[in-house]
Amino acid sequence: MDFSTTFSTADKRAMLQRAMASLENEVHEVSWRAGHDPDDLSVDFTAPADANGNTLAQDVLLEKSLVKWKACKAKLDALG
């Protein structure tokens, strides 16, 4: 996107840190609702499927939350 505002590295870092905090809360809440211990999660968690290939909505939401967390973490790490 062609935004008209640019941000310093420090501002980007602060925004990403706020986003990380929000995403970590989301991961904790969703994992507890889905019956998973957040401390035991892998960042590469995938929603398990049954024999018919069906997944539970909460597990899919957890997987998506972890994907967002991983992307945000990568951007934050890239800032140094």
Render pLDDT for 36-79 as a digit per residue (tens, 0 to 9).
999 999 989 999 999 999 999 999 999 999 999 999 999 999 99
Which long-range contacts link 75-80 to residues 24+ away (Cβ below 8 Å)?
Answer: 75/16, 76/13, 76/16, 76/17, 76/20, 79/9, 79/12, 79/13, 79/16, 80/9
User: What are the structure tokens assigned to 78, written together?
Assistant: 């890239």
The pLDDT of residue 70 is 96
Query: pTM of the full predicted structure?
Result: 0.85
